[in-house]
Amino acid sequence: MGVRVFLAGASGVVGLPLVKLLVGAGHQVTGMGRSPQSAKTMSALGADYVAVDVFDAEALAQAIVAARPDVIIHQLTDLPTRLDPSLMGEAALRNARIREEGTRNLVQGALSAGVRRMIAQSIAWAYAEGKPPYTERDPLDVDAQRTKPITMRGIIALETLVLSSPPLEGVVLRYGNFYGPDTGRDKPEGPSPLHVEAAAYAALCAVEHWQPGIFNIAEPRGEATSRKAMDALGWRADFRLAERTA
């Protein structure tokens, strides 16, 4: 039986394939973004669309109430086109604001609308240095020795808000290093690579096999192990969208 999903970041590199998966699985989707032009794309995919700024808490809360979702999925980022490395420094500041202020507004909007389930995007390459493979029980690099302090500040804020705002039930998907369509990377890269379509599939799995908590989402043999997601959510690292659209 399908559920109503409010998807923040619906037009992103993970959001677009996720819309396709959710609609194809029979779920009703309201995609949220900042560009009115995305309405045509969402309509073509069978989803509704609302243009609202995540930093406008009042407008966001109204949009969530109007959508009447059963679950909110937070896939918002503010990254440069094709993940241009020369622009990633500036993007870190914008992403930190989304993860702190934006997540807070989404959580407050969810609670005010009576929504009790949220799934949010985090990262799997932020663990404190130790002995891989890292599990969800391993500590994050709170001293930011392996990752930049700005990024860690945003990640910690996001995960705390999603997991510790009762009665909200939260799922945090710690994604690996993206590659695939529109990422600027055709092949696996980084310590814990992840195809963007497999990332989208993880969010679908979380909707359909609900279990609150933290899940690493990355390919095998990387630094972070995703065994928990495979066992509890039925996720597969080799999933590609063609399996559902052929």
Question: Who contacts 242 (Cβ-Cβ below 8 Å, separation ≥6)?
Answer: none
> Cis peptide before 167, with omega less than 30 degrees from 0?
yes
Phi, psi of 58 (to 5 degrees): -65, -50
- Assigned token pair, 104: 């807070």
Q: What is the pLDDT of residue 99?
A: 96
pLDDT at res. 184: 86
> Taken in order 109, 115, 116, 119, is the CA torsion positive or negative?
negative
pLDDT value of residue 82 = 56
Query: Helix, strand, or coil here: 204?
Result: helix
pLDDT of residue 29: 98
Report the percent of the chain where pLDDT is more than 90: 82
The pLDDT value given to residue 34: 81
CA–CA separation, 119 vs 140, rounded Å? Answer: 19
Give me the chain's average pLDDT, please.
92
Name the token pair of 234: 């039925």
The burial class, CB within 10 Å (0-12 / 13-18 / 19+), for 40 is exposed
User: How do 117-123 and 71-74 pair as beta strands?
Assistant: parallel
Q: Which of 76-80, 192-196, 210-214, 231-235 has the lowest mean pLDDT?
A: 76-80
Whether this model's pTM surpasses 0.75: yes
Local confidence band at 36 (pLDDT 50, 70, 90 cut-offs): confident
Place of tokens 């809360």: 61
Question: What does the pLDDT read at residue 244?
Answer: 73
Whether the predicted pLDDT of 241 surpasses 60: yes
The answer, yes or no, to whether residue 245 has pLDDT greater than 80, is no
User: For residue 35, what pLDDT band results from cuts at 50, 70 and 90?
Assistant: confident
pLDDT confidence of residue 93: 83
Summarize pLDDT for 160-216 with one digit per residue, the tens: 999 999 999 999 999 999 999 988 899 999 999 999 999 999 999 999 999 999 999
Range of weakest confidence among 47-56, 77-86, 97-106: 77-86
- Structure-derived torsion over alpha carbons of residues 108, 111, 113, 117, reported in degrees to the nearest 10: 110
Most confident of 50-54, 79-83, 146-150: 50-54
25 pLDDT exceeds 80? yes
